[in-house]
């Protein structure tokens, strides 16, 4: 089980010949990801870590079944790369690239809707199905197989919390990074629905942050869930009106505040951990584990 | 990047949205000359990236060129909400029959642009009840069309066959065109003014998406950051000034916020937010450390959970700064785990620095040392 990707997912790496992409191709292969192809225009015929490189996504699709693509190309070319993958029929597109213009993001998400494709990002660390498949950039050693689903807006904070889960013997079914930007593909609710249906997942960790209203919308769905949800919201100490790095993390006109999110989640039956390393204890409590 | 009012209006004029007669002046003499060209009562408006200019005395209404010169003298050199006034906009004084509101911005939850309009614009727009605010999303695949603009105008209660209605249909379509062509995440006209038969953008607020600056070469550059924010931005990093005494560097916006939250929960006070994530290399990381030390904090806390950021790059940067300064002037605690962790710790070991495994322990330690 697990959601979105598993041990049978055939992966393409977009921009595979770049410095970051080739480094992370090696890491993903070491994790066990089935990377069957790479694509960099003009570099077809080469190999990176033993993976064949093609000039276009369509060319790669002629030779392989591609289930999912992870995009590492620079921001100016990201929209083109995402559209190319979806147009070729790739159903899951993970966009690691940071700094993508917001109107490009809007176009990517709109096309994904039309094609019925899943988009994670832009500006996501990726997705890991514990012990089965990793797409993106998280450090391998902290992600182990288990029954906790994790969904997050922010990357490194997720490593922090997953690292704590793993250190406490709590492995993960799937860890999903939605991306830290303003207009990203999948939402908390999309992913929570998948976890609710997934037989492997027994409890869910939601990692949010101040700004926007994604957590408040998620709270509405959490009311209907049968599985326990533990949340952490970053930005409690942030002064209002200051943009804290993520395009999303800004408190607008009193909306999207820390307290507003905590109240909505608590009212929906989720447990909110005040600090990141308090998540494992709340999960254990919710699942009745020692 | 926020644009000054006069820049936004120049952009409007270029795209065909009517704006008041007049232009920007940097000296009282220029202001006088522009007022003479306009002939008649004028407005002299301070150009700063802040609201509340009127309340701060930054907007004057001279009747003659001489008065315009005097008004410009007063306004130039003023400081409004900490921002010095370096130029003014001199414009015709409009006869105002009605004030309306129009804007297009990005709605992240809907993942679409949204048009917001109201027949009741001006100073009190934020106090208007919901029923006077019209909101419609713009389907990115459909794009902007005249029917969309007509529906907005109808709901604003303006006749479609009136001169006002016709002009507004044009303005709405043009606003979206500006958003798309100039990657504007906000274009706002408040107020949009009816002046006899004319419809005029009496103010402008335009924010360009900083992520799109690479394809916006023809726009003027506006400095809207503090010196430390600018220094960090030049390195591709985001920095926010806070008022505590422990300087913080972490990799990723979320973990940086989580680090600040943790410090505060344990009784510490962060001096800043600095996200050095996204695969920042050795040199930029070293420069970022220099920026932090330049803040003269009581302690420095580095919290790295390497993903795309590599622990060896961070450790090398740390070592570079350590060696260049022959040690650190303040207590430093570093927590270093993740990608290339062992290599990073080995490098730190060569200068006798030990890294922490857990944020919790590291945060407690730096608070203790910074006391």
Q: Return phi, psi of residue A128, to 5°.
A: -130, 125
C-alpha A175/C-alpha A156 separation (Å) is 12
Q: Which of B166, B182, B215 is the last residue of a domain?
A: B215
A134 touches chain B (CB under 8 A): no
Asked whether the predicted pLDDT for residue A253 surpasses 60, the reply is no
Reading the block at residue A10, the tokens are 């055939």
B167 lies in the same domain as B269: no
B298 lies in the same domain as B281: yes
Whole-number pLDDT of residue B84: 87
Q: Is A246 a catalytic residue?
A: yes
pLDDT, averaged across chain B: 92
Whole-number pLDDT of residue A212: 82
- Spatial strand order in the sheet of B299-306: B238-241, B272-275, B246-250, B299-306, B332-338
* B250 belongs to a structural domain: yes
B82 lies in the same domain as B205: no
Q: How many CA atoms lie within 13 A of A233 on its CB side?
A: 29
Nearest CA in chain A to B212: A101
Work out the average pLDDT over B350-367.
94
> Is B109's CB within 8 Å of A214's CB?
yes
In this prediction the ipTM stands at 0.85
B81 lies in the same domain as B153: no
Among candidates B126, B253, B309 on the partner chain, residue whose Cβ is nearest the Cβ of A244: B253
Whole-number pLDDT of residue B290: 93
Reading the block at residue A217, the tokens are 């919308």
Asked whether the predicted pLDDT for residue A250 surpasses 50, the reply is no
Q: At what angle do helices A155-167 and B253-265 cross, to 10 degrees?
A: 60
What whole-number percentage of chain B has pLDDT above 70?
A: 100
Mutate to test the interface with A, among B214, B257, B340 (most CBs of A within 10 A): B257
Whole-number pLDDT of residue A155: 86
B87 lies in the same domain as B125: no
- Check B167, B188, B229, B322 and give the catalytic one: B188
Res. A244 pLDDT band, cuts 50 70 90: low
Whole-number pLDDT of residue B278: 73
> Is B360's CB within 8 Å of A107's CB?
no
* B240 belongs to a structural domain: yes
- Check B10, B32, B92, B101 and give the catalytic one: B101
Asked whether the predicted pLDDT for residue A46 surpasses 90, the reply is yes
Whether the Cβ atoms of residue A286 and residue A230 lie closer than 8 Å to each other: yes
Whole-number pLDDT of residue B138: 97
Whole-number pLDDT of residue A215: 93
B270 bridge partner residues: B246
B337 touches chain A (CB under 8 A): yes
Question: Model confidence over B157-216: pLDDT tens digits?
Answer: 999 999 999 999 999 999 999 999 999 999 999 999 999 999 999 999 999 998 999 998
Asked whether the predicted pLDDT for residue A251 surpasses 50, the reply is no
B134 lies in the same domain as B242: no
Whether the Cβ atoms of residue B102 and residue B167 lie closer than 8 Å to each other: no
* B8 belongs to a structural domain: no
* B2 belongs to a structural domain: no
Domains identified in chain B, total number: 3
Burial class (CB in 10 A: 0-12, 13-18, 19+), A129: buried
* B347 belongs to a structural domain: yes
B169 lies in the same domain as B236: no
Whether the Cβ atoms of residue B183 and residue B2 lie closer than 8 Å to each other: no
Nearest CA in chain B to A276: B258
Sequence-distant (≥ 6) Cβ neighbours of residue B97 within 8 angstroms? B193, B194, B195, B196
Q: Return phi, psi of residue B140, to 5°.
A: -65, -30
Asked whether the predicted pLDDT for residue A249 surpasses 80, the reply is no
Q: Is B92 a catalytic residue?
A: no
CATH at residue B266: 3.40.50.261
B320 lies in the same domain as B346: yes
- Check A24, A153, A227, A246 and give the catalytic one: A246
Residues of A in contact with B343 (CB under 8 A): none
> Is B211's CB within 8 Å of A99's CB?
yes
Whether the Cβ atoms of residue A228 and residue A204 lie closer than 8 Å to each other: yes
B243 lies in the same domain as B318: yes
Reading the block at residue B195, the tokens are 């002046």
Question: Model confidence over A100-152: pLDDT tens digits?
Answer: 999 999 999 999 999 999 999 999 999 999 999 999 999 999 999 999 999 99
pLDDT, averaged across chain A: 93
Whether the Cβ atoms of residue B182 and residue B219 lie closer than 8 Å to each other: yes
Nearest CA in chain A to B264: A237
Whole-number pLDDT of residue B25: 96
* B11 belongs to a structural domain: no
**DSSP conformation letters of B249-279:** EESSHHHHHHHHHHHHHTT--BSEEEE-TTT
* B5 belongs to a structural domain: no
Res. A243 pLDDT band, cuts 50 70 90: low
B131 lies in the same domain as B152: yes
Asked whether the predicted pLDDT for residue B53 surpasses 90, the reply is no
**Closest to B247 (Cα-Cα) out of B231, B271, B219:** B271
Nearest CA in chain B to A246: B253
* DSSP letter assigned to residue A211: S
Residues 160-179 of B with CB under 8 A from A: 179
Res. A247 pLDDT band, cuts 50 70 90: very low
B187 bridge partner residues: B104, B206
Res. A210 pLDDT band, cuts 50 70 90: confident
C-alpha B275/C-alpha B32 separation (Å) is 47
Q: Which of B92, B123, B152 is the last residue of a domain?
A: B92
Angle at B56 between CA B32 and CA B240, to 5 degrees: 110
B172 lies in the same domain as B304: no
Calculate Rg over the CA atoms of chain B: 26
CATH at residue B52: 3.30.1490.20
CA distance B119 to chain A (A): 21
> Is A103's CB within 8 Å of B183's CB?
yes
The 3-state DSSP class for residue B4 equals coil
> Is B209's CB within 8 Å of A103's CB?
yes
State yes or no: cis peptide before B229, omega within 30 of 0: no
Reading the block at residue B47, the tokens are 């150009």
Structural domain containing residue B332: 227-370
Residues 218-247 of B with CB under 8 A from A: 238, 240, 242
Asked whether the predicted pLDDT for residue B371 surpasses 90, the reply is no
Question: Model confidence over B302-336: pLDDT tens digits?
Answer: 999 988 888 999 999 999 999 999 999 999 999 99
> Is B111's CB within 8 Å of A110's CB?
yes
B50 touches chain A (CB under 8 A): no
Asked whether the predicted pLDDT for residue A248 surpasses 50, the reply is no
Q: Which of B92, B111, B141 is the last residue of a domain?
A: B92
Asked whether the predicted pLDDT for residue A237 surpasses 80, the reply is yes
Question: Model confidence over A56-96: pLDDT tens digits?
Answer: 999 999 999 999 999 999 999 999 999 999 999 999 999 99
SS3 content of chain B, % helix, strand, coil (to 5): 40, 25, 35
What whole-number percentage of chain A has pLDDT above 90?
A: 86
Among candidates A159, A210, A244 on the partner chain, residue whose Cβ is nearest the Cβ of B338: A159
Nearest CA in chain B to A275: B262
Angle at A157 between CA A204 and CA B333, to 5 degrees: 140
B106 lies in the same domain as B88: no
* B16 belongs to a structural domain: no
The 3-state DSSP class for residue A104 equals helix
Asked whether the predicted pLDDT for residue A252 surpasses 80, the reply is no
State yes or no: cis peptide before B247, omega within 30 of 0: no
Residues 105-164 of B with CB under 8 A from A: 106, 108-109, 111-113, 126, 139-141
Pairing of strands A133-136, A126-129: antiparallel
């Amino acid at each position: 089980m697990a959601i979105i990707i598993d041990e049978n997912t055939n992966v393409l790496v977009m921009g595979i010949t770049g410095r970051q992409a080739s480094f992370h191709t090696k890491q993903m292969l070491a994790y066990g990801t089935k990377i069957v192809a790479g694509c960099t225009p003009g570099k077809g015929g080469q190999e990176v870590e033993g993976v064949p490189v093609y000039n276009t996504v369509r060319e790669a699709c002629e030779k392989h079944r591609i289930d999912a693509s992870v995009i590492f190309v620079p921001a100016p070319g990201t929209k083109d790369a995402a559209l190319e993958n979806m147009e070729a029929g790739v159903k899951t597109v993970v966009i690691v690239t940071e700094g993508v213009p917001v109107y490009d993001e809007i176009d990517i998400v709109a096309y994904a809707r039309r094609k019925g494709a899943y988009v994670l990002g832009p500006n996501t660390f990726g997705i890991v199905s514990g012990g089965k498949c990793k797409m993106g950039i998280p450090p391998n050693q902290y992600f182990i197989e288990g029954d906790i689903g994790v969904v997050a807006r922010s990357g490194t904070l997720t490593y922090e919390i997953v690292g704590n889960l793993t250190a406490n013997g709590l492995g993960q079914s799937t860890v999903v990074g939605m991306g830290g930007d303003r207009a990203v593909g999948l939402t908390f609710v999309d992913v929570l629905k998948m976890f609710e249906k997934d037989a492997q997942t027994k409890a869910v960790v939601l990692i949010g942050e101040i700004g926007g209203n994604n957590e408040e919308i998620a709270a509405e769905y959490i009311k209907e869930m049968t599985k326990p949800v533990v949340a952490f919201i970053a930005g409690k100490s942030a002064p209002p009106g200051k943009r804290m790095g993520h395009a999303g993390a800004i408190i607008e006109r009193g909306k999207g505040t820390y307290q507003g999110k905590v109240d909505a989640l608590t009212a929906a039956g989720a447990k909110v951990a005040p600090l990141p390393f308090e998540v494992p204890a709340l999960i254990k409590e919710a699942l009745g584990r020692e | 990047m926020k644009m000054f009012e006069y820049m936004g209006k120049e952009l409007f004029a270029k795209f065909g949205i009517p704006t008041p007669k007049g232009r920007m002046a940097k000296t009282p003499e220029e202001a006088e000359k522009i007022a003479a060209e306009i002939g008649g009562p004028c407005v002299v408006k301070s150009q700063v990236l802040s609201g509340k200019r009127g309340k701060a005395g930054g907007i004057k209404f001279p009747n003659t060129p001489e008065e315009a010169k005097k008004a410009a003298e007063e306004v130039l050199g003023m400081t409004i909400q900490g921002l010095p006034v370096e130029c003014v906009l001199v414009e015709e004084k409009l006869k105002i029959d009605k004030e309306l509101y129009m804007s297009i911005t990005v709605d992240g939850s809907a993942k679409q642009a949204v048009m917001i309009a109201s027949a009741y614009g001006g100073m009190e727009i934020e106090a208007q009840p919901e029923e006077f605010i019209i909101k419609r999303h713009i389907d990115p695949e459909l794009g902007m069309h005249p029917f969309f603009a007509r529906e907005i105008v109808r709901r604003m209660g303006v006749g479609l066959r009136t001169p006002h209605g016709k002009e507004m249909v044009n303005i709405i379509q043009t606003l979206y065109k500006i958003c798309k062509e100039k990657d504007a995440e906000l274009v706002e006209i408040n107020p949009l003014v009816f002046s006899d038969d004319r419809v005029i953008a009496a103010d402008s607020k335009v924010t360009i998406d900083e992520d799109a600056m690479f394809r916006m070469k023809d726009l003027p550059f506006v400095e809207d950051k503090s010196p430390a924010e600018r220094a960090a931005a030049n390195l591709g990093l985001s920095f926010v000034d806070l008022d505590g005494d422990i300087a913080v560097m972490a990799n990723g916006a979320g973990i940086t916020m989580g680090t600040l939250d943790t410090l505060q929960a344990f009784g510490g006070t962060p001096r800043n937010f600095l996200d050095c994530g996204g695969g920042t290399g050795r040199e930029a990381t070293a420069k970022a450390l220099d920026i932090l030390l330049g803040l003269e904090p009581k302690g420095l806390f580095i919290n790295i959970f390497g993903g795309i950021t590599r622990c060896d790059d961070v450790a090398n940067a740390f070592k570079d700064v350590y060696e260049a300064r022959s040690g650190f002037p303040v207590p430093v605690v570093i927590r270093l785990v993740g990608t290339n962790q062992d290599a990073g710790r080995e490098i730190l070991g060569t200068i006798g620095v030990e890294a922490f495994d857990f944020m919790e322990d590291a945060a407690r330690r730096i608070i203790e040392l910074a006391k």
